[in-house]
């Protein structure tokens, strides 16, 4: 995209403009409540009701402000979360870590296998997938990772658990399922200790297709929901380990008001992905809108 089109997009699109101004630190002086009310208005076109929140997205904003357990920081740290999860469901569900570093310059690429994945521990998006080490663009990888290391992910949507996560880099074993030829993400929404819905993210690594999200109930009935991405043209098959992932998600979430627990199914085995307290930051609409209210009814803030 040319500079002219980028500037035009920033000026004409309120959401893009808000994100750009936020990245520049324009809203840094706002309290968390003031910021979230402004973000909610820009992204969802409504006023945020924190006195009597009813929808899923409203209640996520309430939880950001008033549910601040120090343990959450460990749970969203992509390195520390592995230990947290292993303690509760076992090491066999953890994707092997190949290394952890504070700086990109500390990575010894000679020690890494031909295929691997680099991730930042403190954000969403700091990801480099290497399928062939000899063709890896080190310069591009360095820039992407270093740009992410400079950011405090908390500042994006004021998701409190990320505020004090130490920015680091981890390398993980490259994973791909033989049958699907990709790494599908199975994301389970746990409400008050019970999984109520989940979605499958497909085509995540495609260079020509947008990522697809398909929601299902716990009997694997496809739900008429769009949230951030379109549905796939063909409904994804039910994962073989569906019931196991469901049980593990409930075990990891315990009695929390809400937690999204992500897994991968790779060649007949389940692997932990990540834990998320605020899906999309609670700032992406549901279509049809009734699902925002439905999911919100499953979070009980009175207990």
Q: What is the DSSP string of 176-197?
A: --TTTSS--EEEEEEETTEEEE
User: Edge to edge, what strands does the sheet with 97-101 contain?
Assistant: 97-101, 169-173, 116-120, 127-130
Contact 98, 86 (CB under 8 A): no
CA–CA dist 129, 170 (Å, integer): 12
Per-residue confidence (pLDDT) for residue 204, from 0 to 100? 81
Per-residue confidence (pLDDT) for residue 3, from 0 to 100? 67
Per-residue confidence (pLDDT) for residue 131, from 0 to 100? 94
Question: What crossing angle do the helices spanning 290-297 and 56-66 adopt, rounded to 10°?
Answer: 50
Contact 203, 212 (CB under 8 A): yes
H-assigned helices in the chain: 3-12, 14-23, 32-44, 56-66, 71-76, 80-89, 138-149, 154-157, 242-253, 290-297
Contact 183, 266 (CB under 8 A): yes
Q: What domains are there in the chain, each with its CATH number?
A: 3-66 (no CATH), 69-93+176-303 (3.30.470), 96-174 (no CATH)
User: Mean pLDDT of residues grouped by 10 in the chain (303 residues)?
Assistant: 66 89 95 98 98 98 97 98 98 98 97 97 90 95 96 96 97 92 93 98 84 97 97 95 98 97 96 98 98 98 86
Per-residue confidence (pLDDT) for residue 10, from 0 to 100? 67
């Amino acid at each position: 995209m040319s500079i002219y089109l980028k500037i035009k997009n920033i000026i004409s699109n309120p959401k893009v403009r808000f994100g750009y101004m936020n990245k520049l630190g324009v809203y840094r002086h706002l309290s968390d409540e003031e910021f979230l009310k402004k973000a909610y208005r820009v992204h969802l076109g409504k006023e945020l009701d924190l006195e009597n929140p009813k929808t899923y997205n409203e209640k996520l904003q309430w939880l950001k402000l008033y549910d601040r357990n120090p343990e959450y920081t460990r749970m969203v740290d992509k390195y520390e979360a592995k230990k947290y999860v292993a303690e509760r469901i076992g090491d066999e569900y953890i994707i092997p870590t190949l290394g952890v570093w504070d700086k990109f310059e500390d990575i010894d690429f000679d020690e890494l296998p031909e295929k691997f994945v680099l991730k930042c521990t403190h954000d969403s998006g700091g990801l480099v997938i290497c399928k062939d080490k000899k063709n890896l663009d080190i310069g591009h990888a360095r820039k992407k990772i270093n740009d992410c290391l400079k950011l405090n992910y908390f500042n994006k949507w004021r998701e409190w658990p990320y505020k004090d996560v130490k920015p680091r880099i981890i390398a993980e074993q490259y994973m791909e399922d033989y049958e699907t030829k990709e790494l599908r993400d199975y994301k389970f929404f746990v409400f008050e200790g019970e999984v109520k819905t989940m979605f499958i993210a497909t085509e995540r690594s495609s260079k020509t297709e947008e990522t697809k999200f398909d929601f299902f109930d716990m009997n694997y009935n496809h739900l008429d929901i769009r949230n951030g991405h379109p549905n796939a043209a063909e409904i994804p098959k039910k994962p073989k380990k569906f019931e196991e992932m469901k049980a593990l998600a409930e075990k990891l979430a315990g009695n929390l008001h809400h937690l999204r627990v992500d897994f991968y199914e790779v060649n007949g085995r389940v692997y932990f992905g990540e834990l998320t307290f605020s899906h999309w930051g609670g700032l992406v609409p549901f279509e049809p809108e009734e699902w925002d209210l439905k999911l919100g009814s499953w979070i009980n803030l009175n207990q």
